[in-house]
Amino acid sequence: MWIPPNEIYFPPAFWIDEMHSKYFVLQKRRGHDEPRSFRSLLVNTLDSVWDTKPPPYRILHQTPHSEVYYEIAIGLTQEEIVKDWEWLAEHLFKVLNEMESEEEITTFTICKIQSLNAQNNQDESNESANFKVAASKFQQLFEMPKEERLVNTYACTYVKNKIPHQGNLYISLNHICFYSYMLGIQTKRVIRFAELEDIKRHGQSIYLKTVNNSNYNFTLLGDVKEAYGLIEQLNKMAIQQMIQDPDSPIVDHDASVFQRFGRKASNKPGLLRDLTVRQKSEEYRNYFRLPQSEIIDGQIKANIWTPYSKRYAGGSIYLSANFFCFRSDIPDLVSLVIPMRNIKSVEQKNDGPHRYENQIVLHTSENIHFVFAQIVDREVLVEKISELLSQFHVPISRERAKYDISWSRQTALINSFKTNLSEEMLKIQEQKLSRWQAHFRDFGRGISMFRTTDVINLIVEGIPDKLRQEVWLIFSGAIHEKDMNPGLYEDLVEKAACIKQSSVHDEIDRDLHRSLPEHPAFHHADGIGALRRVLQAYALRNPQVGYCQAMNIVSSVFLLFCDEDNAFWMLASLCENLLPDYYKDKVVGAQIDQSVLNELVEMHLPELHSHLEQLGIIRMISLSWLLTIFISVISYESSLQIIDCFFYEGAKIIFVIALQILEWNCEALLKCNDDGEAMEVLSRYLDGIYNPEYQLPSPAVKRKAQTQPIQTLIHEAYTKFGSSISQQKIEELRNKHRRLTIRQFDIDNENTIVKFHTDNMYFDKEELHLLLTIIREEKSTPRKVLQQKAYSALGGESPILLPTIGRTGYAEGNCSRSESYSIDFDTFRALFHELTPWRNCFSIDLAEKLFRLTDKKSTGTIEFSQIINALGIVCSCKYTEKLKLLYILHLPPLLSKAEIEQVRRPKSNAKEDTEEAIEAEDFFGDDPSESIEALPSPTDNNFDEHEYALITATQHLHSLAGLSQPTSSSVLAGAINGGRSSTFYVDLPTKHGVPMEVARSQNGAISCGTSDVIGNALRHQGRFESTDTFSDISDLGITKVTPPQLNVETISNFSQISDLVMATKVERTDSTTDTKSLGSLRYLLDQPDDGNAPNRNIPNMKKANFQFLWRSLVEILGEQDEDMRKAYENLIELGNNNMRKEISLDSFTQLNLGNGDEPDNNGNPTTPCADTNATTKLFQAYEDELKQNSGGRRGGSSSDSSLDLHNWEISINQFIATVLAVTSIVQGFYQKPSIKENIEKMQKNRRKCVNTNY
């Protein structure tokens, strides 16, 4: 890439000339792409220690008589730098030779390169060349996807085992990575922000601790404050993303427009600038109570004229798209919010050369003038304000759909249900109102009032009822959301009213009469109706929150003093801005603040904290305090003044009030011996808090013993704890406990899942915990999540099966907690190759076979219980089960014809190739519709289990009954899939050339008495259960078969097979191959510990599949000894002997006659049938028919020459009995790998960025 020409005065000592011309030289960094020589080790070590990070290739410009070099181009690859060199040769070499002076040559070259650099970077982020090199190295060193953007790099030292490693710290959106190269030894560390448990800074060092108890110590030479703040910010973003979307815990930053007033552009990376803007915007919105959509556009120092004090106050001006704000340098001295819609004009004012120069004056629509002075770059500020004003559009109420809903907006309920105040209380209300009106005269009224410490004092004293709506709307910020969304509330109310059935609405209705039962307004239809509309409208506005208990309590208080739509917007501000995440699932925000309160109690009341921790009461009492802002525990009239302060101070008032309550009751709480006594002490105190300036409308309510006036409680809380607890301190503690709370959620979730699976026979509790941990970590890798996002964006057209939405059940006993630990094929493959001893098998992908066998519903994911069984068998010491599983994994359709041919293709012996190909061709049949080579892999999302089940079952029926395969599949294919033709679809059996369903509809019924009996029995039973799925089945062959009706396992019901054969009355052909469906091979995993497993139900194996089975066996064990070779020869001979035996019909007696829960003595599943005798007679009749047909054919055969090679087969019992006689095989399969060691090794490799290609 072309770069701005950079002067170099020192000779290039660590560079090698690759190409050169009269005025240019192409160089390569010493040690790049070279063997591990001393020179290579030295140069790379010096680059790491000195933090030079040079690119491996560069082009320099120098004239013959000059000692100054100019670096004009750099490249990460040789192809890239050669491309630039060729451009120079084509466009500059000849031109420069024609110039006379070297000065002219250098000037022309520099101008040309600068032009090229500007041209190439005009559509990019204007990042420096060094940062582009660092970003490329980051992706290469740590194998990160392109979507994982680098934020910044820092030179640092990583200390491990008291040994310092000098290198670079790479901070990206989701990772902290470290790389060091010292004398040939590379050190890599990769840490996800989401797994950080603790972040601390001491001096120049940053300490990190992960959830896996791994500790890291990075010492930075400079910019440690910036790096620490960046780590804190990105960790907060990662945890918030996990709360918002647990299934996609990867942070993706939308670049905001970075604009500033200064004339010099920042040289920091663009993403770092954007993150800085993001952090400042969050602080800006929180302080001024602005909507979440506001992004800060700039900040500039200025002084504001305060007419109430007749002086200027120093501070900063903040600009965003919709607001002009000011904040003083002295905390709480003065602040100001002016909406852009209220600004009429801005003009410059010049009073001469004195200290109040560079003034501007803002004129608002309320005819108020605001004067600012001593503004740096006043012209830029005025220009920017004018630009924002020109782009501002006043929100207008859009046309809404008309609904047939009759309702009227409810005004503040206090107007209808007046409070009966005494004359003394009325006098206090008038005094408060008078003080507020005087304040409005001096400081202004409305949104753009001067906000000073005077207004804080007025709020603490209490807001008069007549002003509560106005003051609450302003200081909560709800007024801004309302003004920006005119008509939205009315639209939401009417849409919500049209929803007929909703669980959220049902939950709201249950809580309506429990909202504020002590107030008469909520015993009336007006109050209940308004509260219902507000809650339903907000549930529709914010489906992520919906409705949560406690929202009804705070909303009822809002409705007392605010109009209905204003109460709605205040609820929105409460849930989205003031108390974020409080009312979401698991009330995670409130739980985080519970931990914050716990730490504050430990800091300020250590003795009491220790005692309450022993009693376990802090979390018991604090949740309701936080969720309802004390409304549920303190009388309504007393909690009003806490809410007054809350809208100005935010959550700070909750913490200081809680600390003051605990301090006043400290002595009594320390005497408590159990949590019941402590709860009684606090309840008695809270019930007695009263408001002498206010009372309930109903004087008949019995008052409890008074303990403390609310005014005294608030005043003491501010006095003792207000100065030590700032909003910044609260945010710091929230960041800390947000990590710990989410981690605790994971621990609780894992404990529940582990408890549910404690009885499994493969893994102990510790191994289950480790398995859950590694699954969570693997699913959270950026490459995996970004890959899933990309595939989802394709609308399902992805090569990877995505989880199916809306599954009806869970294997974990409907334990939905474990759903988050379901994995797809890629994750399963990683676990299989990292944790199991079968990773050495490379000829056949056993992970794919095992995943397909385990994925019973073909959803593309397997649940945690299935993971336990699948990996547990392979990792156990039960060698017999493992051998059975290995045998099954090599049966068709798991091991397909296409795979066999693909693996065998490289063989050199043409004769053997031909012979084995013939065997495979005979084994899989000549009819394309019988071939299983089309069996989809786990990476085929077009695979439908029901469609495949239909084919497999139908083919299996034909194979067992000897029916000839249909030659056309268009009839059934059209019925199933809109007329498409595919080898996955076969025709239904026909009667005289007519599809069976058509024949039935024409004739009314098929004249087969036995089939009627069977059909009635099937209809009476209604549902048949297989070993892994349920399906509703009618009498097969008589009624139309559709994918949901035919299940993989239903072919084992002999009554249906017989019914089909008798109904079709087609001559059977002899068949010796018992081709099983995919579902029928899953029985072993369903009952892995069944000692009487029906081995006879497992089909025999053909020679082609057996050869691959033996190859896999040898690869797993690592080598083949003499005993294994003899066992192989014995099994080959057994297969040859089986070719000479007559075809036995015994296998038909082993077919499943039903679908019971328990197997019979032979291990076969049973199901009570409606008419057992009818089924038995039908079976006997069919067996006699087959014997006659078989006998007739045997009579026509005169020699054994008619036996084909495809009759070679061995049974599972023959295979197991033979290999169990081999000591090396038994010992190899008896060994149990250490799951704990393998998982810890896997985690260690991930942290060290050691990736394995599977």
Of residues 505 and 856, more confidently modeled: 505
| Cα 678 from Cα 672, distance rounded (Å) | 6
Q: Does residue 963 register a pLDDT over 60? A: no
Q: Answer whether 995's CB lies under 8 Å from 1159's CB.
A: no
- 232-277 per-position pLDDT tens digit: 999 999 998 888 877 666 776 666 544 444 444 567 888 898 899 9
Helix runs in 811-861, H state only? 825-835, 846-854
Q: Burial level of 901, CB count in 10 A (0-12/13-18/19+)? A: middle
pLDDT band at 105 (very low <50, low <70, confident <90, very high): confident
Q: Buried b / exposed e across 518-537, counting CB within 10 Å, b at 16+? A: ebebbeeebbbebbbbbbbb
Average confidence (pLDDT) over 304-310: 94
Highest mean pLDDT among 37-51, 402-416, 988-1002: 402-416
The pLDDT assigned to 28 comes to 80
What band does 9 get if pLDDT is binned at 50, 70 and 90? low
210, 197 Cβ separation under 8 angstroms: yes
The tens digit of pLDDT for each residue in 336-359 reads 999 999 999 999 887 655 556 889
pLDDT of residue 103: 83
Read off the pLDDT of residues 370-414 as tens digits, 9 standing for 90 and up.
Answer: 999 999 888 889 999 999 998 888 887 666 666 656 788 899 999
DSSP 262: S
Contacts of 390 (CB under 8 A, 6+ apart): none
For residue 817, what pLDDT band results from cuts at 50, 70 and 90?
low
318-331 pLDDT, tens digit per residue, is 999 999 999 999 99
pLDDT computed for residue 229 by the predictor? 94
**pLDDT tens digits along 909-961:** 444 444 443 333 333 333 333 333 333 444 443 334 443 444 444 444 444 44
591 or 807: which carries more pLDDT confidence? 591
**Cis? peptide before 893, omega within 30° of 0:** yes
Q: Pick 678 or 1025 by higher pLDDT.
A: 678
d(CA 864, CA 404) in angstroms, rounded, equals: 49
Q: 1122-1139 and 1212-1219 are packed helices; what angle lies between their axes, rounded to 10 degrees?
A: 160
Residue 618 confidence (pLDDT): 82
Residue range 742-763, pLDDT digits in tens = 889 889 999 999 999 999 989 9
537 has pLDDT over 90:
yes
Kindly tell me the burial class for residue 1091, based on how many C-beta atoms sit within 10 Å of its own C-beta (0-12, 13-18, 19 or more).
exposed
**Which residues 6+ apart lie within 8 Å of 587 measured at CB?**
548, 623, 627
| C-alpha distance from residue 521 to each of 418, 508, 517, 559 (Å) | 9, 17, 9, 10
Which helix (DSSP H) or strand (DSSP E) does residue 382 occupy? helix 378-391
Condensed to tens digits (0 to 9), the pLDDT of residues 546-587 reads 999 899 999 999 999 999 999 999 999 999 999 989 998 889
- The phi, psi pair for 115, rounded to 5°, reads -65, -45
Distance, CA of 371 to CA of 312 (rounded, Å):
9
Separation between Cα atoms, residue 1013 and residue 1174, nearest integer Å = 7
Q: In the predicted model, is pLDDT for residue 846 greater than 70?
A: yes
* Distance from C-alpha of 682 to C-alpha of 657, rounded to nearest angstrom: 13
Let me know: does 984 contact 947? Beta carbons within 8 Å: yes
pLDDT greater than 70 at residue 1242: yes
Query: What is the reported pLDDT for 55?
Result: 75
| Mean confidence (pLDDT) of the chain | 76
CB 757 within 8 A of CB 868: yes
Pairing mode of beta strands 1030-1031, 298-306: unpaired
